[in-house]
Structure 1
Amino acid sequence: MQLLVTSMSQETLDVWQLVIPPGDTVAYRKGNPRSVPSDAVCMSGIYAFERYGGRPQSDRGQILDNLRNDGLPTLIVVPPSRPLQRTVDGAVEVVPEFRSTSPAEYSMTHAVEAVKRWNERAHSVRIETLDVDLPLLGMDDPSDASTPRSVRNALIAAGILAAEGGES
């Protein structure tokens, strides 16, 4: 699987490339999901659910069919959010065992796992290229280097990148 990281902000792409160098499994392109060839696009549930279906889940990424003919790929990968719970006083908080895991690492770990599961099954369309569109994931901030570091950790854990940042 190749990840194609996209953004309209060259500044953001520059920050990401410093943390996750381009190579055989990760490429960068200034553009949006309608302007780059990919088998699927990864987007946050706040954008995906109303338009493509599905519902929030905290334990696994989802792959939804895009039947809208809207110029996006035919498959939408929706990463989960960290699990939440209500406190005694009614406040919502992250479940304690996931507090130290960054939202980006948690979501990308589960999104990549969902694509791997999808590709292991006998589906007619394999996901060979996944567009990781930073704006659609809420990760399009050129002053934020912690998010690409968290995504890098997820890619290392998934076996897509080697621990030293090179290709797996």
Structure 2
Amino acid sequence: DQRWKCIVSPCLELQNEYSYNTLHLKLIDTLTQLLSLFPNAKTFSKLDDDGLIHPYLYYDLVNNFEPNNYAGLLTNYDLVNYKFIFMRGVFYMLGRELVECFLRNSLISENSIGEDILLGKIISNYCNAKFIDLNDSNMIWHKRYNLGKNKNCDLEQRYENDIN
């Protein structure tokens, strides 16, 4: 049952065609449109297109995460590059204040930079983010690629086993 997963980005009218090297610009474009389309939304989240989050964890985070009076952030740390909060991050959740701060401080660069790195640098350096460590990272997974673009479906089976 995939009803819990809402894919918004494909429905947006993005300003440009984006490539792997311009994903940071796509992130800026996407967040700009989402703020406009959802003026009352208080929390925004991002899940990699090849990532999976357990719906119960997501519901719990949405219900308990209150960024109304402060900028809050849930992070999934990369064990290999532990100094980078967003480096290859599978999932993160941002309060509206953080999204607005990010967009105010995002300098459009012609240089290629990973969107997670750009977001992490700005949030860390300019937005006074209050970081909330996400300890339940065992409920957030990244699919493994094999045989080119074919993806391993074990995660879907694991998800089905967890809810049944």
Q: Tell me if both proteins adopt one fold, taking TM over 0.5 as the criterion.
A: no
Query: What's the TM-score once normalised by structure 1's chain length?
Result: 0.28
Structure with bigger helix share is 2
Query: What's the TM-score once normalised by structure 2's chain length?
Result: 0.29
